[in-house]
Amino acid sequence: MTSENTVKTLLILGASGDLTGRLLLPGLARLVAATRAGDLKLVGAGSDDWTAAQWAKRVHDSFSAAATSADARGKAALAAMEKDTSYHGLDVTAEGALAGLIGGLEAPVAVYFALPPHVSQKACEILDPAQLPPGTRLVLEKPFGSGTVSARELNRTLAGLVPEDHIHRVDHFLGKATVLNILGLRFANRFLEPVWNREHIEKVEIIFDEDLALEGRARYYDGAGALRDMIQSHLLHIMALLAIDAPATIGERDLRDAISTVLRASSITAPYKKSTRRARYGAGSIGGREVPDYTAEEGVDPSRNTETLAEVQVGIDTWRWKGVPFILRSGKALGVKRKEAVVTFRPVPHLPDGFQGVDAPNQLRIGFGPDTLKLDVDVNGPGDIFSLDRATLLAELNASELLPYGEVLEGVISGDPLLSVRGDTAEQCWRIVEPVLAAWARDSVPLEKYDAGSTGPADWPTAVGG
Ligand code: NDP
């Protein structure tokens, strides 16, 4: 995979941060252990006055799990990266500091901004394109801006520095394997396409319910909430993958064009009391663990009315989808983990007289992490063959040997922005949710309450068993 585009140095800014330690370095380790990172060099940087030994220890600790299961070549590749890594203390918002560091590294360099969003923005604003070596890639984390206007401004800043296909806006939620599993399912099977439209599909639900509560992340989450954190970015992308027309190729241009086309046609319409719902968890217990009321969590400002569970109904105005509700839901501190897309088909036009039992609509369930596929079909029941019964066909889809962040980094290193969010799409995602955020800020939609460990409000369309 080596070409002149292949990144030679990965520079992680925010080396002492949570993302770097918990997700980036372990993801990189699996990629290196699979000998899929070439002769990449790792450089850490941050405002902390760390010694080289402190950074080396952080890298070593984060690599240890991957090293244990790696083969001899993988172990050697990990050891080589550990031996060669360096740390640089700097303030990335100080004039010339970051450009100076990048200029001294072996090019092409991928600059990973694992920094607070406002710090990343400031750092980019003061970079001078003339100081960036050819091939430089900029890797930005979510949230990308805080609304359409700020996302557009950030896009403009980045476009002044490097070409669009050298900008990686990370959405690690869907690893490459999951994206390709959805595309393979949809476009390598002839039987699905003729029914994949408003004539045959009644609704599509995309649900990501977690049993994790706030887990000490109030600083970020209390200013974001479930709609911004999950629906605005990740779930809208899954929706787009489920709704796109077949692209000619699965190259980044065709696929990202198709995703953008769907999102441009998508909106959440008023009245928002009907098309959206929000709720916040109260005290409860999850798997024997006591969880305090959200407002009692450290760092939470109750007056913000931050929702920990959100549900929105998106419409896609195209011939294929007009009138089909796409219901996106995500929440924290729920008693049942649900991570799936559920496609519900319309009922048959006429069930032949003589059958008994319930003729329930077919449902196709695509599970995320582990990736699974379930198809609920009606079959003739055991014993009484005139009575209908339900059967579920189940398949476990192939998993990737990499962690999602390993897949993200592989795209960055090899110069493939397939998994990155394109600039126009990042703006569209904000455009879709902004009217809802405004309606919620006006308190037009009540903030409901659910107990931690429960399944959430029972009267929502996506309620368990609903
Ligand atoms: P942290 O606050 O844990 O880490 C931020 C890092 O940035 C620290 O190492 C900090 O160093 C460094 N930093 C801050 N200001 C400067 C500066 N002026 N110059 C150089 N370094 C600086 O944040 P996270 O790791 O949690 O998040 C980083 C990004 O990743 C954010 O955009 C976040 O939204 C995103 N993200 C995080 C996830 C997570 O699970 N943590 C998940 C998905 C996305 P110091 O401590 O010395 O100030």
The answer on 184 and 59 residing in a single domain is no
The answer on 229 and 164 residing in a single domain is no
Distance between CA atoms of 203 and 346, rounded to whole angstroms? Answer: 8
**Residue-range definition of the domain harbouring residue 123:** 9-170
Q: State residue 33's pLDDT score.
A: 97
The answer on 132 and 79 residing in a single domain is yes
Phi, psi at 320, each rounded to 5°: -70, -35
The answer on 126 and 226 residing in a single domain is no
DSSP 108-177: SEEEEE-S-HHHHHHHHHT--GGGSPTT-EEEEPSP-SSSHHHHHHHHHHHHTTS-GGGEEE--TTS-HH
The answer on 222 and 324 residing in a single domain is yes
Q: What is the CATH number of the domain that holds 36?
A: 3.40.50.720
The answer on 155 and 224 residing in a single domain is no
The answer on 182 and 130 residing in a single domain is no
In this structure, the strands spanning 388-396 and 266-267 are unpaired
Distance between CA atoms of 268 and 257, rounded to whole angstroms? Answer: 21
Q: State residue 1's pLDDT score.
A: 47
User: In a 10 Å sphere around its CB, with 0-12 CB exposed, 13-18 middle and 19+ buried, how is residue 357 labelled?
Assistant: middle
Tell me whether residue 83 is in a domain: yes
Q: Where is the domain boundary, 170, 188, 208?
A: 170
Best of 102, 115, 173 to mutate for ligand 1, by most ligand atoms within 8 A of CB? 115
47 lines ligand 1 (CB under 6 A): yes
Tell me whether residue 460 is in a domain: no
The answer on 279 and 234 residing in a single domain is yes
19 lines ligand 1 (CB under 6 A): yes
**C-alpha 260: how far from its chain's center?**
16
79: left (phi over 0), alpha (psi -120 to 50) or beta: alpha
Q: Where is the domain boundary, 131, 146, 170?
A: 170
Q: State residue 4's pLDDT score.
A: 66
The answer on 306 and 215 residing in a single domain is yes
Q: Where is the domain boundary, 170, 187, 209?
A: 170
Q: Please enumerate in sequence order all residues whose Cβ is within 8 A of that of 128, keeping only pairs 6 or more positions apart, or say none.
A: 99
Tell me whether residue 58 is in a domain: yes
93 lines ligand 1 (CB under 6 A): yes
Name the domain count of the chain: 2
Q: Please enumerate in sequence order all residues whose Cβ is within 8 A of that of 184, keeping only pairs 6 or more positions apart, or say none.
A: none
Blockwise average pLDDT, block size 10, the chain, 466 residues: 78 96 96 96 95 96 96 97 97 96 97 96 95 96 95 97 96 83 95 97 97 93 96 96 97 96 98 98 96 97 98 98 98 96 96 89 92 94 89 91 91 93 97 98 98 97 80
The answer on 133 and 251 residing in a single domain is no
Q: How far apart are the CA of 205 and the centre of ligand 1, in A?
A: 33
Kindly state the DSSP code that residue 418 receives in the 8-state scheme.
Answer: G
Phi, psi at 9, each rounded to 5°: -130, 130
Distances (CA, A) of 276 to 62, 64, 310, 313, 440: 41, 45, 8, 6, 9
Ligand 1 atom with the smallest distance to the CA of 48 is: 47
Letter string b/e over residues 371-404, b meaning 16 or more CB atoms within 10 A of that residue's CB? bbbeebebeebeeeeeebeeeeeeeebeebebbb
Based on the residue annotation, tell me whether 234 is a catalytic residue of this protein.
yes
Q: Please enumerate in sequence order all residues whose Cβ is within 8 A of that of 151, keeping only pairs 6 or more positions apart, or say none.
A: 144, 145, 426, 427, 430
Q: Which of 88, 166, 168, 234 is labelled catalytic?
A: 234
The answer on 80 and 205 residing in a single domain is no
Tell me whether residue 412 is in a domain: no
Rounded to 10°, the helix 236-243/252-264 angle is 100
Tell me whether residue 140 is in a domain: yes
User: Given CA atoms 175, 179, 181, 182 in this order, what sign does their dihedral have?
Assistant: positive
Cβ pair 357, 387 in contact under 8 A: yes
Q: What is the CATH number of the domain that holds 265?
A: 3.30.360.10
Tell me whether residue 248 is in a domain: yes
Tell me whether residue 314 is in a domain: yes
The answer on 181 and 165 residing in a single domain is no
Q: What residue type is assigned to position 260 of the chain?
A: S
Tell me whether residue 411 is in a domain: no
54 lines ligand 1 (CB under 6 A): no
The residues that bridge with 396 in the sheet, in sequence order, are 372
Q: How far apart are the CA of 25 and the centre of ligand 1, in A?
A: 14
Rounded to 10°, the helix 423-441/236-243 angle is 120
pTM above 0.75, yes or no: yes
